[in-house]
Amino acid sequence: MTNILRVESSIKGDAAVSRLLTDRIVARLVAANPDAVTVTRDLAAGIRPVDGQWLGAVYTPTEARTESQQATAAYADALLDEVKAADVLVIALPVYNFGLPAQLKAWIDQLARKGQTFRYTEAGPEGLLPGKRAIVAYASDGTKLGSEIDFASGYLRHILGFFGIADVEFVAADAIAFGAEEAIGRGEAQVDALAA
C-alpha cells in the first residue's frame, strides 16, 4: 500500500494552479496504485508558527511537559507523523514574492527537529527520512523554475534533502503571466510524464 501526503499551501484554494497540478499528480498516483491512501494537509487553513513555546515543548521530555507544552508537542508530532507515514509527498509550491508561502515555511519549521528529521554526525548532517519520494507542483506568475530569481525551488529541494528526502521531482506551470494556457499545459504534460 502506498501512503500519499498531499500538502496544499496556496491561499487561492480550488482556484490555485498548484492545486490543479496536485489534483492531477494524486490522480495519476492513485490510478497506478489503487490501494493508495491519501492524507491532505491544507496549510492555507492555518498552521502554527514555531516560537519559544514550541521550542520548549518539543525538546522537553514527554513526562516533564506542562499541559500547554503537551498540546504544542502533540500538534507538532501530528504534522511529523504524517510525513513519517508517507511514501510519497505531493507538495504544492506556489511562488509568492520569489519564495515559499509563509504557511509552507511554517510547516517546514514544524518538521525541522533534531533527532526526528535530521541529526548531526562527525561526517556532517544526516537526514532521518530516507526512502521517500517528493513531487512538487510549482506554480508562479512571473518566476521561471530554476531561474536566478527563483528562491523557492532550491530551498525546498535543499531542506527536503536535509531531511533525507533525496528523490525530489518538480513539475512546473511557471511564468503564467506570460501565457497561462501554455504554462498550465506544460505543467500538466510534466505530470503525465511522471513515473507513477
Domains and CATH numbers, the chain: 3-192 (3.40.50.360)
Q: Is 10 annotated as a binding residue?
A: yes
Residue 133's DSSP bridge partners are 88, 167
Give the dihedral of Cα atoms 52, 54, 55, 60; nearest 10 deg: 120
Average pLDDT over residues 34-55: 96
Assessment of whether the complete model's pTM goes beyond 0.75: yes
Number of Cβ within 10 Å of residue 119's Cβ equals 13
The band of 124, judged by pLDDT with boundaries at 50, 70 and 90, is very high
pLDDT of residue 1 exceeding 90, the answer is no
Average pLDDT over residues 48-71: 95
pLDDT at residue number 196: 80
